[in-house]
Amino acid sequence: MKLLFEKSVPERRGVALGPSDVPTTININEELLRGRSAALPELSELDVVRHFTELSRRNFGVDTNFYPLGSCTMKYNPKVAERIAAYPGFAHLHPLLPQLRMGGMLTQGALAILYDMDLLLREITGMAGFTMQPMAGAHGELTGMMIMAAYHRDRGNGKSIILAPDSAHGTNPASAAIAGYRVVTVPSDANGVMGIEALKKELCEDVAGVMLTCPNTLGLFNPHIREICDLIHSVDGLAYYDGANLNAIVGKARPGDFGFDIVHINLHKTCATPHGGGGPGAGPVGVGEKLVPFLPVSIVVKRDDGTYALEYDRPKSIGYVAPFYGNFGIVLRAYVYILMLGAEGLARVAENAVLNANYIRCKLKGYYQPAVDTVCKHECVFSTTEAMAKQGIHALDVAKALIDRGFHPPTVYFPTIVKEAMMVEPTETESKETLDAFIAAMIEIAELAERDPEQLKAAPVTTCVSRPNETAAAKNLNIASLSS
C-alpha cells in the first residue's frame, strides 16, 4: 500500500481556513522563518479519509476479532465511555484553568470526578490515597519507585536494591533501574511463584522493596503473598503491587489487605478503557497511609462547603510526574465503567475472567503443554509439545495459524521463563461460544502440527502481508520517509 506522502498531489488541499478577519502582518524577522514549507502531503479530505479507512481495515481490534493477548487484557471497551469523554464540558476544558485565582470553581465537575475516582480506587484496592497522574502502567511503576525512594530518603535509609521475580514484566526492572535502583532477580519456585526461601536468600538491609505482579504472568496467585510482604517490611522495605493483573481479583480481594504499600492500576486493562493501538492508557498509583504525604502534587481535596480544590502545598511530595492531572480523558472513561458495574459487577468481572481462562486451560491441556497444571486466575500459559517440536513447529507457527482462523494470537514467548510460551487471556467480555470456537481452532492446529506441519509454517495466508522480515528491518533501518 502506498504511503500518504506517495499519494500527494501538488496544490491539492484538504481543510481550508477561510478568509482572515485581521490584516496579515509580517511581524516576524525573515531569518527566524523556515526556508521552505514542511513537506507534508497535499491531499483532499476524501483522500485522507480513504487512506486511513484502508489502513484501519488492515488491523485487528477487539471490535473485529477475539484478541486473547495474554497480560494485555483486551476486553470490550464500552461505547458509552467514548461518548461521554467527547462531551464538550470535558473535551474542551483547559487544564490551566484551576491555576487561575478562584479557577477551581470553573472546573468543579472535573475535580469531582478525580476526587470520586480516588475514593473508588481506594475501596477497590484497599489503599489510603491515589494519584491519577501516571499516564500508563509503566509510568505508574516509575512513580511508585519515586515514592519508594522519597520514603527511604525521608527515613534516612541508604537502600539501593529492588527485588523482582524472574516472571516479572520487563517494565518492572526497567522502572526500578531508571529510578536509580539496582535490580536483583528472585527465581520462581517449582510452583511458578516467588518462594519464601528464594526471597530470604536475597533479603538484606539494603533492600528498598519488592515489585510483584499478583496473580503473576503465569496467571498464578502467590499463596505466600502475605508472608512476602511481611518479610519485606521486616527490613523496612516496601512492597509494590504491579496491578497489571488486578482484573483477576477485582471485587474479590484487595492488594492493600495482602500487605502491599504501593499499587498501580492499568485502567486500560481492569477498567476497560481502549488500548488505542498502544496507548493512551492510564496508571493511577495508590499508596498506604504512611506514603500518602509522598504522592505527586496536585491532589484533589473536598472542602467543608462541599466544593473541590487542588492542593499543592505538600512538602514531602515527589513533585510532578505529569503536567496536570494525568490522562483525564482515560480516567473519565474508567470512572464511567466503574459506575456502571458497581460492586456486584466488578466481582462478576473477576469471576468470568477466571472462569473463561480456566475453561480454556482445561479444554486445551490435552493438546498443548500447560506451564503449570493448577487452577489459574485470568490467564493460562501453554507451550508447544515435544511432538510439535519434532515437526519443527514453534509457538510462532501456532500464532500465525490462528490468524488465518480469524483469531488474534495469544502473547507468545512471554513470560520468558517458559519455553515456547503462549499466554492466553480471554477476559470476561467473551462468551462461551467464542471460547469454544477458539478452542476448536487451537485443537485443529495441534492436529495439523502432526499431519501437515508445512501448512502451519506457511501461515498466515489470509493477511495483506505474511511474516515480515524483522532482521532486515533492524539491519537496513528505514524508520521515516524523509523529503528529498
Partner 1 sequence: MPFIPNTDQQQQEMLKAIGLTMEGLFGDIPAELMAKSFDLPAGLSEQEVRSRLADLAGKNSVDLTLFLGGGFYDHFIPSAIYSIISRSEFYTAYTPYQPELSQGTLQAIYEYQSAICRLTDMEVSNASLYDGGTAMYEAMMMALRITGRNKVIIDDSVNPIYRVMIESYTRNLKIDLDETHCVNGLANRAEILGRLDDQTAAIIVQNPNFFGCIDDVTDLAEAAHAKGALLIVSCYPISLGILKTPGAMGADIVTGEGQSLGMPMSFGGPYLGFMAARKQHVRRMPGRVVGETTDREGRRAFVLTLQAREQHIRRDKATSNICSNEALCALTALVYLSLLGKEGLKETAQRCADKASYAYQRLTAIPDVQPHFRAKWFFNEFVLDLPCEAADVIAKLIEKGFAAGFPLSRYYEGMENSMLICVTEKRTKQEIGMLAEALESVL
Report the interhelical angle of 328-364 vs 432-451 (nearest 10°). Answer: 50
Nearest approach in angstroms of CB 229 to partner 1 is 11
- Rounded CA-CA distance 237/255 in Å is 16
**CB-wise, 99 or 234, nearer to partner 1?**
99
Largest CA distance in the chain: 77
Nearest approach in angstroms of CB 385 to partner 1 is 21
Put residue 422 in one of left, alpha, beta given phi > 0 → left and psi -120 to 50 → alpha.
beta
Query: Cα–Cα distances in Å, from 238 out to 152, 223, 233, 234, 290?
Result: 9, 19, 6, 10, 11
Contacts by residues 24-32 (CB-CB < 8 Å, ≥ 24 positions apart): none
**CB-wise, 101 or 451, nearer to partner 1?**
101
- Rounded CA-CA distance 304/288 in Å is 24
Grid coordinates of 413: 514467548
Nearest approach in angstroms of CB 62 to partner 1 is 4
Nearest approach in angstroms of CB 48 to partner 1 is 5
| DSSP conformation letters of 260-318 | -SEEEE-HHHHT----TTT------EEE-GGGGGGSPSPEEEE-TTS-EEEE---TT--
Dihedral Cα 346, 352, 355, 358, nearest 10 deg: -90
**CB-wise, 1 or 387, nearer to partner 1?**
1
Nearest approach in angstroms of CB 181 to partner 1 is 9
Nearest approach in angstroms of CB 406 to partner 1 is 10
Nearest approach in angstroms of CB 120 to partner 1 is 7
**CB-wise, 52 or 450, nearer to partner 1?**
52
Query: Cα–Cα distances in Å, from 272 out to 243, 275, 293, 320, 357?
Result: 14, 9, 30, 26, 18
Put residue 237 in one of left, alpha, beta given phi > 0 → left and psi -120 to 50 → alpha.
beta
Put residue 450 in one of left, alpha, beta given phi > 0 → left and psi -120 to 50 → alpha.
alpha
**CB-wise, 156 or 277, nearer to partner 1?**
277
| Residue 78 near residue 272 (C-beta atoms within 8 A) | yes
- Rounded CA-CA distance 395/383 in Å is 7
**CB-wise, 29 or 197, nearer to partner 1?**
29
**CB-wise, 113 or 393, nearer to partner 1?**
113
Nearest approach in angstroms of CB 55 to partner 1 is 4
| Close Cβ partners of 397 (under 8 Å, ≥ 6 residues apart) | 449, 453, 456, 457, 459
| Residue 239 near residue 261 (C-beta atoms within 8 A) | yes
Nearest approach in angstroms of CB 187 to partner 1 is 15
Nearest approach in angstroms of CB 450 to partner 1 is 24
What residues are paired with 184 via a beta bridge?
163
**CB-wise, 78 or 448, nearer to partner 1?**
78
Nearest approach in angstroms of CB 47 to partner 1 is 8
**CB-wise, 132 or 203, nearer to partner 1?**
132
